[in-house]
Amino acid sequence: MTTHIQDAPATTTAGVLPIDFVTLSNPSLKTRIASTLRDEVIAGFRVWRVWGIMGWDDIRQRYRRSVLGPFWITLSMGAFILLLGIIYSRLFHMQIETYMPYLSVGFIVWGFMSTAANDGCIAFTDTARIIKQIKLPYSVYILRVVWRNCIIFLHTIVIYIPMAIVFKIEPKLSMILVIPGLMLVVLNLIWLTTVVAILSTRFRDFQPIVGTVIQLGMFATPIMWPISSLGDARIVAEINPVYHLIEITRAPLIGEVPGPLSWLVSVGLAIVGSVLAIALLVRAARRIVFWI
């Protein structure tokens, strides 16, 4: 007697279809993307109090026994900008009242981005104990790094105030453009920090690579040198996406309006970078805990 097992209905004694454990253990790509967005990205923004407190605590711990606290960064950066401004204004034959605000805003924004990228390399490895003990969205550790550097940025941007007073930068309506400019910078920093955090956790050689790229990028980006000094070779700066991120924040503060190209590049970079960061997070979300 032969039994047709394959043709028999797949039901249990209670008449309920059995669970397909193979499908559950290997969800589709669409399901993984939706799950990652819900559990790792959106959930991280919802618990903003967690990464907000963690960021503040990082600042307090770093300057716990200091009298001036993070304002030491403000003083050291102010002295550095003053020295560079005096020297490089002569090298580039620019009036110091024009060059100093250009240098100060550009250097402060560059410091904000470069420090966040460097800190992002250890966003997961530095919090390995927390990750292994408590289930929190991975975006919490990314937002913690970005928020911490936003706090430091707010301490250093005060350098611009005496610069504006001394060099008589008149307030203009176009200065309000610095708000969407900073929002775009922060948005780009979130996806950039996510990418370097994942890659640095998986490949430990990636962190020194990031440090080297940042050092070289400082000289390849118009921070200390004006783009007008390149003449017809200004394409060198225009193909640098970091220049456009700096420009949408620097230009309004020095009384200029950022060009449409800078806005277009910054928005496009945020979109493409966010897609890349989500793709990496979808692939690595289950593995990060084993890599650390």
Percent of the chain, pLDDT > 70?
87
Determine contact, residues 219/242, Cβ cutoff 8 Å.
no
Work out the number of other CB atoms within 10 angstroms of the CB of residue 210. Answer: 18
Of 90, 118, 88, which is closest to residue 106 (Cα–Cα)? 88
Of 217, 277, 207, 225, which is closest to residue 241 (Cα–Cα)? 217
- Give the pLDDT confidence of 182-215 residue by residue, as tens digits: 999 999 999 999 999 999 999 989 999 999 999 9
Q: What angle do CA 280, 281, 285 make, to 5 degrees?
A: 125
- Where along the chain do its domains lie? 30-54+66-291
pLDDT band of residue 13 (cuts 50, 70, 90) is very low
Per DSSP, 39 falls in state I
Mean residue pLDDT of the chain comes to 85
Token code pair at residue 46: 């919802």
Instruction: Report the Cα–Cα distance between both ends of the chain, in Å, rounded.
Output: 58
Distance CA 188, CA 201 (A): 20
**Torsions phi, psi for 3 (to 5 deg):** -115, 135
The structure's pTM equals 0.86
What pLDDT is recorded for position 25? 52
Write out the H or E segment, with its range, that includes residue 279: helix 260-284
Determine contact, residues 279/33, Cβ cutoff 8 Å.
no
Determine contact, residues 47/53, Cβ cutoff 8 Å.
no
Distance CA 212, CA 203 (A): 16
- Give the pLDDT confidence of 242-277 residue by residue, as tens digits: 999 999 999 999 889 999 999 999 999 999 999 999
DSSP H stretches of helix in 41-174 = 43-46, 48-62, 71-91, 96-120, 128-133, 138-156, 160-166
